[in-house]
Structure 1
């Protein structure tokens, strides 16, 4: 029905817009489609502008924008382009997250389907513990617990950037498995020897952690070309910077005695769990660049080789002076 003043009944508005009366009532009840008035019998009446507004609502909903977002766009007609762009950006982010979750589920299903029957229970347990889309929060907590509490936010942020791998948006089954294993390491119970235990519980206290980690980063950068070239760990500028970082952070000086003590200390502190973490990080990234863990392991080996060579020199040998 069209009233004499040009107002439309709810049925007429629904028919012209190609929707149901129930749909018009839904948008009206949520404030998206204001009524012009009510008839004497209490029936809803809409102004001529309601038809165009309803068509706009339908267009926005076709883009799957949530009703609250549609309301925000309609409430700012003077800033419609900005409000609409913001709403679309938000929807694109949500869709991206949903697509990533679907891709991870697909790869996880392929992983379970393709693995030997005897390993399916383990694979199901691993992938079932990971949210979709996957979260890196457990890995970040793992490393925050492992780092000295006095380390500056700048260095914590830098270390997390390297140590917390970002899950690929379109993973392979192998990458899903690597991420699930990383997640399992990061969320495992914390035994006495776990690196996540507070630094204050360790016997070797670093007095200036920023000095140590700044120096370690320098050493890792210097060692990277040797790792990429697959060179055998050996003495050189990278190792000297590595040892100097440890010495300076403790207020000590580099020398044969310090290198022997440091070699023993690093051997005792070595943790297969952390070594495995770095291996999985490399598998997940698929990058040819060495991880911090790989650089650290190379420098540890270089130090052990250097200490062994120095120990082999007899006291009377001119090289020992």
Structure 2
């Protein structure tokens, strides 16, 4: 028994391979498993080579290979290494898709989304990198429309939302929130106001709130604010007033406006123009999407400094 000359009926093949009789008959009818011979009564019989072939077909099917490709392998139109490489690549795509779906579902579960929002989240998560960038390009095109090109604007346009192939639910959620933010008319209007005011000041030579000198003065002030907050000082304290006066003096020197009676009022107005938490949120969301290292938010210190500025003015 089980020698090279042994023949097996379909029922015996089913017992030896664990496949159903119906499946084996289908493979035989489709040409994947030609019978070795037939009995006088017309029953199909298979030899040991057919059994080996059937086990090979079973293995390929368990790996997810479709029947046309199985037939190509058996016909030697494609080699096993070629099949393995092609199938592994196809599986990579399927795995990325499944992981993305998992992240979308977890993000939706966390947000408590409605059916309509579920569809929106799914569609946004499936966008290509170019399609994601097009959403940001549209945002910046409206913000910068008609304004002279600046180095800073060009840099901001280059920062892409690079959602990975295997995003975490947090990254998917950050991407959805970013899209909602840049599509918010009030946010677009606010950033447009910032861009227009910045362009005006640059052209007049009055100031550039995005310049190195401006940033240096602000960073120094925020460092002092952090120390004051750690010491339990309030914005309306003497420490708060001193920090505001020192920062204002540093900025005034940079702008050549020392002794200007309207300078403090102008500085408060400028802070109202450029101080928007959503602008910081934009970059925080991009950081989450792109996997940038997290950094402490300057918002508490900035709010303290704003309060101290208003207290010093009063």
Q: TM-score w.r.t. structure 1 length?
A: 0.48
Higher relative contact order by CA 8 Å / sep ≥ 6: 1 or 2? Answer: 2
Q: Over alpha carbons, which structure has the higher Rg?
A: 2
